[in-house]
Amino acid sequence: MRPEKLLFPTPEGLYCPAGAFHVDPVRPVDRALITHGHSDHARSGHRAVLATRQTLDIMKLRYGEDFCESEQAVDLGSELDVGGVAVSFHPAGHVLGSAQIAIEKEGMRIVVSGDYKRSADPTCTPYEPVACDVFITEATFGLPVFHHPDPRAEIGKLITSLKQFPERSHLVGAYALGKAQRVIALLRQAGYGEPIYIHGALAKLCDYYRSQGIDLGELRPATVERGNQDEFRGAVIVGPPSAFADRWARRFSDPVASFASGWMMVRQRAKQRGVELPLVISDHCDWPELTQTIREIAPEQVWVTHGREEALVRWCELQGIAARPLHLVGYEDEGD
């Protein structure tokens, strides 16, 4: 079977006509297979949804019980038949519950990796390479200039700053799903034992991560009331990036503004956001991870999506691997 017959882009997202399903559709569809819970991949309003138990739980937390008509949980590594197409989910190492989806029919296997990364993350199952004929990869950081440092060294910078400025609260911007919990878990791994304060928008997801066995230590709500300003002196406060623009953030006196994102590599972005302490912590592959992964899998073809497609397509061609950009729209990388 030709791969373009098994899976192709439509305005709704990638579609598999043989199995009558879409992968991470951006519009409501009859049957959706979802790689992970970020809002650009996991939307509400589909009739039937197939995903890992954790991704389904996360969608429920974010959209409510009625986020779809019917749900089916699939275990990582087990294979199921969807309308005559063999489908299996494999760890992507991106956020809790994240999976790559392998789709196979008549000897043709395509792997949709969704978002993935290779660097260590204490909050989710590590990425596993899956042999395939066609590998669909993201290219969020698909340029040779993108090299992400060791996240433990980045967390070390935060710990150093806490020691340097014991009077100042440290406001760390981190996306609500995945990045926030990863920053907290990395702090705990580095031996930081103080209570960590979290913005209300993170509470449900942090509770869920803990229910799944992720150690986040003592968390307290970052609620500023008159007279409790002292509580936040020298403390770490984690909140979604959006909260840093509103009045909530201005209640902390003389805070150190920090932001955990792969984009913090780009000095201009840190400057624009007024970030004093940029932490380059990414939930996506950098250029060496992308190219290492493609070498390791050695697929016949690579299809490149959301991000800087051209450079990776060119790199594949130079390696003798056929490649093309997919030009999918609607993926705004919620959790970089």
24 binds Zn ion (CB under 5 A): no
Query: How many other β-carbons are positioned within 10 Å of the β-carbon of residue 190?
Result: 12
Decide if residue 117 touches Zn ion (CB under 5 A). Answer: no
Q: Is 71 in the site for Zn ion (CB under 5 A)?
A: no
Q: How many residues in the shown chain lie near Zn ion by CB under 5 A?
A: 3
Least distance in angstroms from the C-beta of 169 to Zn ion: 29
Does the footprint of Zn ion cover residue 309 (CB under 5 A)?
Answer: no
Q: Among 174, 259, 335, 336, which residue sits at the site for Zn ion (rule: CB under 5 A)?
A: 335
Looking at 15-23, 111-119, 143-151, 270-278, which segment touches Zn ion (CB under 5 A)?
Answer: 111-119
Indicate the residue among 124 and 214 with the shorter CB distance to Zn ion. Answer: 124
Which of the stretches 34-42, 58-66, 128-136, 232-240 binds Zn ion when contact is defined by CB under 5 A? 34-42
**15 and 28 in contact (C-beta within 8 Å)?**
no
- The smaller minimum CB distance to Zn ion, of residues 19 and 173, is found at 173
Q: At what angle do helices 203-211 and 53-63 cross, to 10 degrees?
A: 160
DSSP labels, 196-227: EEE-GGGHHHHHHHHHTT-----EEE----TT
Residue 137 or residue 169: which is nearer to Zn ion going by CB?
137
Q: Is residue 115 close enough to count as binding Zn ion by CB under 5 A?
A: yes
User: Closest distance between Zn ion and the C-beta of residue 76, in Å?
Assistant: 17
Please identify which residue in 22, 38, 168, 199 interacts with Zn ion, judged by CB under 5 A.
38
CA distance 306 to 28: 20
Q: Which of 32-40, 60-68, 243-251, 258-266 is the region at the interface with Zn ion (rule: CB under 5 A)?
A: 32-40
Strands (DSSP E) contained in the chain are: 8-10, 13-16, 21-23, 31-33, 46-51, 68-73, 79-82, 85-91, 99-105, 108-112, 134-139, 170-173, 196-198, 219-221, 236-239, 256-260, 277-279, 301-307, 322-325
Stretch that binds Zn ion, among 107-115, 140-148, 220-228, 245-253 (CB under 5 A): 107-115
- The CA distance from 310 to 115, in Å, is 18
Question: In this structure, are residues 92 and 54 in contact, taking their beta carbons and an 8 Å threshold?
Answer: no
Q: Considering the complex, state which of residue 240 and residue 335 has its C-beta at the smaller distance from Zn ion.
A: 335
Check binding of 173 to Zn ion (CB under 5 A): no
Nearer to Zn ion, 162 or 185 (CB): 185
Return the number of the residue (31 or 38) whose C-beta is nearest Zn ion: 38
Choose the binding region for Zn ion from 109-117, 215-223, 308-316, 317-325 (rule: CB under 5 A).
Answer: 109-117
Alpha carbons 98 and 36: distance in angstroms, whole number:
4
Task: Please report which residue ranges of 116-168 form alpha helices under DSSP H.
Answer: 151-164
Torsion of CA 38, 241, 285, 147, to 10 degrees: 170
How are strands ordered across the β-sheet holding 236-239? 219-221, 196-198, 236-239, 170-173, 256-260, 277-279
Coil, strand or helix at 135: strand
Question: Closest separation between CB of residue 334 and Zn ion, Å?
Answer: 6
- Least distance in angstroms from the C-beta of 36 to Zn ion: 6
Contact footprint for Zn ion (CB under 5 A): 38, 115, 335
